[in-house]
Amino acid sequence: MRALGIRGVQHANALAESLKSNDAEEKKMAEGNFREIAKVLGVTENTLKMLLHQVTEDPYAQFIVEIWCSLKR
């Protein structure tokens, strides 16, 4: 997924959050990326959705995202 812009859990989390965005343009772009990632990986969108859910809900992944975000401030 690195070649598709998902280089780590922080990027997977950003995609998952963008898919839930209230900003129509951000959500549309995320949905396009999501579909392209599923296609390139050769998995269904439901499979990718489950993968993103499992990754982003993992406590260790959440810790990494929290640290990553604190470094960006």
CA distance 71 to 6: 19
CA distance 17 to 61: 14
The predicted pLDDT at position 73 comes to 64
The answer to whether residue 3 scores a pLDDT higher than 90 is no
Q: pTM (2 decimals)?
A: 0.84
CA distance 27 to 53: 17
The predicted pLDDT at position 2 comes to 81
Burial of 61 (0-12, 13-18, 19+ CB in 10 A): middle
**Furthest CA-CA distance within the chain:** 36
Residue 60, classed as helix, strand or coil, is helix
- Chain-centre distance of CA 8, in angstroms? 9
